Chains A and B, each alone.
Chain A
Amino acid sequence: MSILDSKIPDGPLADKWTKHKNEINLVNPANKRLIDVIIVGTGLAGGSAAATLAELGYNVKAFCFQDSPRRAHSIAAQGGINAAKNYQGDGDSTYRLFYDTVKGGDYRSREANVYRLAEVSTNIIDQCVAQGVPFAREYGGLLDNRSFGGVLVSRTFYAKGQTGQQLLLGAYAAMNRQIGRGKIKMYTRHEMLDVVVVDGKARGIIARNLVTGEIERHSAHAVVLGTGGYGNAFYLSTYAMGSNVTAAWKAHKRGAFFANPCYTQIHPTCIPVSGDHQSKLTLMSESLRNDGRIWVPKHKKDVEAIRNGSLKPTQIAEEDRDYYLERRYPAFGNLVPRDVASRAAKERCDAGYGVNKTGEAVYLDFAAAIERYGKEQAYVKGLDVDDKKVVTDLGKKVVENKYGNLFQMYEKIVDQNPYETPMMIYPAVHYTMGGLWVDYNLMTTVPGLYAIGEANFSDHGANRLGASALMQGLADGYFVLPYTIGDYLAHDIRTGPIPTDSKEFDEAENKVRADINKLINNKGSKSVDHFHKRLGKIMWNKCGMARNEKELKEAITEIAALREEFYKDVFVPGTENEYNEELAKAGRVADFLELGELFAKDALEREESAGGHFREEYQTEGGEALRRPEYQYVSAWEFKGKPSEAVHHKEPLEYENIEVKERSYK
């Protein structure tokens, strides 16, 4: 029997959340003033949670490593946020959003959590609009929607290609209101370096002031981690440079189980790698797949001509192009889910059809959309639909209105005009579906320690559909945690402030100081980035889009060896008592070097292919992911001193309301 208690309420799926809210403990408003909550991370999940808990009356202390909460990496999300509003009347419903999300996650997410997510999704849109988030509108003044990969309805709300920015600024504004009222105390440029556990409960954190280097103790009745994902373990990814796993990893070392670490989303529409100097990858919203057609040349000779510059993609005739997604998946075409689109691109490039110098790029082509929209506009305006120039100009205008900022971004990076020549794209690490294990209340296996948004594991399964991350971040922060945390805090109304002079705080602070001293006094010969890049190469080559037993075993050994070398030979310049970016980075890379090993261990254990997790040994004859029913569980790892000694726990996944079927997008 598993020791993991998911605390899923009983009763029919559609009533679980309502029933749970009716039954859990409430905290009297006067008593909320006696309770402190620490929130680490101020993105969509952490920011919205901070604002809401402060609004409810709790004393919130919020921490972020950026110079302002407005800069959390949620700001970079482009495409949109899903909600089962059915404003378009195309058959959407809570059940369908739930169904698509569970199916899209390849039946590896928790049913009750996902249903709740779908249920509160409509509230999110109402909330954001009330806050003044400027979503796209139709001419009639109502909200506009678009569709996204993996679904057949238009349920995605958006603000051009900057939806994450607008939603984050909404949460930031809600936080500002509470900071102005004195209900949130904001600690910017602070990094959490440990959780303090007192009598088995999370009671505070040790944080480092990144400007002065000071080590600080902060206590609270509960600690919430909204610290995002750990994709930067791959070095190259679409994550912000500072995104890290440190807070979650330190929590793991204090007893929080880490679930499904190997579940990583590889996003299909990123700008390809251009060289060794590359520091990060840039994503192009997959909303582009609504209008762009993905192809590579059919013939190797054309590929070679393109690579040596003697042929332009626009010169390749229609019949000489392989629109491989439309060919393989006629029902969904270019709108297949991310894992399917990513793997298909890799398959073509591995077969030698990649169109850039490194052979790792495919085309995303808007010529057909420009022509289609142009003809439509010419017709509406009573102009000549056969005049190529008129049609192209009008079509470009429509495409510019939809994706202008993305096209501009592409042109700046690649130095090519995507209105004239097809974009080049390639998959890149973009999101981690694994994270700290949480129960239905979003509490980790450490009482009083919560994980929300990308930092937890529960909602996306083995794959994440487009526009669902923003939905989960805000659902957790605005609408789920504020209820569920009350159930726990109701027992703390008489506790009083938590003292920070206890032996537990001493011990945690000493540990943090020792770790920092070790890094700063190491005086090795190689930079932090040197080790980070090497870790990234192992992760991408052996734990990336496709994995196999042999390479995963190699990865485990190599990462452990690299970690040893890191501690022998890393050089961190400067001192600990100042603004020291290298020191901050060194601590983060040290944690990636541990997480990376657990990641590979988890991938090795999972002998099946599910969603973004593709084990080469387990595929269908058609090269699709082969899920195995015996692996229908969550892997939750318990820390025992070293990643190699982590103990494996399983939470079986039960699907009572959905028939588990083979996922097909044909």
Chain B
Amino acid sequence: MNLTLKIWRQKDAKDKGKIVDYPINGISPDMSFLEMLDVLNQELIGKGEEPVAFDHDCREGICGTCSLYINGRAHGPQTKITACQLHMRSFKDGDTIYIEPWRAKAFPVVKDLVVDRSSFDRIQQAGGFISVNTSGNTQDANAIPIEKENADKAFDAATCIGCGACVASCKNSSAMLFVSAKVSQFALLPQGQVEATDRVLNMVKQMDEEGFGNCTNTGACEVECPKGISLENIARMNREYLAASLKG
């Protein structure tokens, strides 16, 4: 396949940035999208130019490192996948492809397509944990029976990979889907009950401080989430938040 890539180039956080055109030929449909970018970068290096910086690591859809806004959609045209799981067979010969970084105030650009998502870490640090001593002297694991249905729902919420596609897809750059996934995981498990009130209040407070917008109820986050994290989690977080606010 022969393609035209229109890629966001930005030297660093201070640079204004612009779209640059790159024609690329001989792309195999079996390549992943990131492998296609590898090919481009090898060409650029061969010409003595600087390659395009983009975030990626595991390349099997689980680390949440890859980001890429492709043709106006987080992780590209398919649903429930990351950019590393997107294959070139999703495109046609002659296509023009726009590649941009995540766009959100709380995700400043580091370089080209790489953004800083440390705001996500700070939200987790505000309460995304259960305060248990890591001593190994906890009770026997089977002493905490958990209804299978709840365990499964907690697992579904816990599968969030923290990639930020939800934020990038939201017209308000809201992080509600991300935050609600962690809140829900613990809200559904008996271990998480003791700190539930503080957890939801602190995490939401931090989320606001980081500059994420409010939920728009549009649902774009759910559509673009590579792990299919459900909007139900946002509803659950809202209920938790309301209950916590009343208690507080």
Tell yes or no: A134 within 8 A of B by CB.
Answer: yes
CB neighbours (8 Å) of A138 from chain B are: 148
Q: Kindly state the separation between the CA atoms of A67 and B53 in the bound complex, as whole angstroms.
A: 14
* Residues on the A chain within 8 Å of B118, using CB: 67-68, 188
Whether A82 sits at the interface, judged by CB under 8 Å, is: no
B92-147 residues at the A interface, CB under 8 angstroms: 110-111, 114, 116-118, 120-121, 124-136, 138-142, 144-147
Contact A180 B125 (CB under 8 A): yes
Shortest C-beta distance, A116 to chain B (Å), equals 13
Whether B65 sits at the interface, judged by CB under 8 Å, is yes
B132 close to A131 (CB less than 8 A) = yes
Nearest opposing residue in chain A for B11, CB measure: A578
The winner among B42, B58, B138, B159 for most chain A CB atoms within 10 A is: B58
> Which chain B residues in 25-81 approach chain A with CB under 8 Å?
28, 30-32, 34-35, 38-39, 42, 44-46, 48-51, 53, 55-65, 81
CB neighbours (8 Å) of A280 from chain B are: 59-60
B142 with A142: CB separation less than 8 A: yes
A180 to B198, CA, bound (A): 14
Contact B158 A240 (CB under 8 A): no
Q: Let me know if B223 is at the binding interface, CB within 8 A.
A: no
Residues on A with beta carbons closer than 8 Å to the beta carbon of B116: 67
Cβ-neighbour of A141 out of B34, B121, B148 (below 8 A): B148
A123 CB contacts on chain B under 8 angstroms: 136
Query: In the complex, which of the residues A135, A140, A529 contacts B145, with contact meaning CB atoms closer than 8 Å?
Result: A140
CB distance from B144 to the nearest CB of A (A): 6
Asked if residues A479 and B136 are in contact (CB atoms below 8 Å), the reply is: yes
Give the shortest distance, in Å, between B136 (CB) and chain A (any CB): 4
**One of B167-175, B185-193, B214-222, B234-242 at the interface:** B185-193
- Indicate if A275 sits at the interface (CB-CB under 8 A): yes
Is A282 part of the binding interface, using a Cβ–Cβ cutoff of 8 Å? yes
> Which one of A158-166, A368-376, A550-558, A595-603 is at the B interface?
A158-166
Return chain A residues, CB-CB under 8 Å to B49: 573
* Given A126-B141, A211-B110, A573-B50, A71:B57 Cβ within 8 A: yes
Find A241's partner among B31, B57, B146, B185 (CB 8 Å cutoff): B57
What are the interface flags for A172-215 relative to B under an 8 Å C-beta threshold, 1 for contact and 0 otherwise?
11101101100000101000000000000000000000010000
Given A177-B131, A413-B87: A579 and B138 interface contact (C-beta under 8 Å)? no
How many residues from B make CB contacts under 8 Å with A?
78
Which residue in chain B gives the minimum CB-CB distance to A572? B45
Q: How many Å lie between the Cα of A69 and that of B128 in the bound state?
A: 14
A579 to B108 alpha-carbon distance, docked (Å): 14
Label chain B's interface by main secondary structure.
Answer: loop
Q: Is A127 an interface residue (CB 8 A)?
A: yes
Query: Does any Cβ of A come within 8 Å of B19's Cβ?
Result: no
Any A CB within 8 A of the CB of B204: no
Residues of chain B contacted by A73 (CB below 8 angstroms): 57-58, 63
Which B residues touch A238, using CB under 8 A? 60
- CB pair A579–B148 under 8 Å, yes or no, is no
- B42, B89, B129: most-surrounded residue (chain A CB, <10 A): B129
B180 within 8 A of A: no
Q: Which of A4-12, A47-55, A634-642 contacts B (4 or more CB under 8 A)?
A: A47-55
Establish whether residues B124 and A120, one from each chain, have CB atoms under 8 Å apart when the complex forms.
no
Q: Does A513 contact B (CB under 8 A)?
A: no
A169 to chain B: closest CB distance in Å?
7
B143-197 contacts to A, CB under 8 A, are 144-148, 151-152, 154-155, 158-159, 161-162, 185-186, 189, 191-192
A126 near B158 with CB under 8 A, answer: no
Minimum CB–CB distance for B9 against chain A, Å: 13
**Proximity string of chain A (352-390) to chain B, C-beta cutoff 8 Å, 1 when within and 0 when not:** 000000000000000000000000000000000000000
Q: Report chain B residues within 8 Å CB of A180.
A: 125-127
Determine if B134 and A75 form an interchain contact, defined as CB atoms under 8 angstroms apart: no
Do A527 and B45 touch across chains, with their CB atoms under 8 A apart? yes
Tell me whether B12 is interfacial, beta carbon within 8 Å: yes
Given contacts A131-B191, A134-B154, A581-B51, contact A76 B62 (CB under 8 A): yes
Given A137-B148, A412-B85; 20 other pairs, CB 8 A cutoff: A76-B62, A124-B136, A128-B141, A132-B130, A132-B191, A141-B148, A159-B158, A176-B129, A177-B125, A180-B127, A240-B57, A240-B63, A277-B30, A409-B61, A413-B85, A478-B136, A571-B45, A573-B48, A573-B51, A578-B12
> Can you spell out 27 A-B residue pairs with CB atoms less than 8 angstroms apart?
A67-B117, A71-B58, A75-B62, A76-B60, A126-B139, A129-B138, A129-B144, A130-B132, A130-B138, A130-B144, A132-B154, A132-B185, A141-B148, A165-B161, A173-B129, A173-B130, A176-B129, A179-B125, A277-B38, A279-B59, A282-B59, A409-B61, A478-B134, A527-B42, A573-B45, A574-B50, A581-B53
B binding-site residues for A, Cβ under 8 Å: 11-12, 28, 30-32, 34-35, 38-39, 42, 44-46, 48-51, 53, 55-65, 81, 85, 87, 89, 110-111, 114, 116-118, 120-121, 124-136, 138-142, 144-148, 151-152, 154-155, 158-159, 161-162, 185-186, 189, 191-192
A contacts, CB < 8 Å to B: 48, 51-52, 55, 66-71, 73, 75-76, 85, 87, 120, 123-132, 134-143, 159-160, 162, 165-166, 169, 172-174, 176-177, 179-180, 186, 188, 211, 238, 240-242, 274-275, 277-280, 282-283, 409, 412-413, 415, 478-479, 527, 529-530, 571, 573-574, 578-579, 581-582
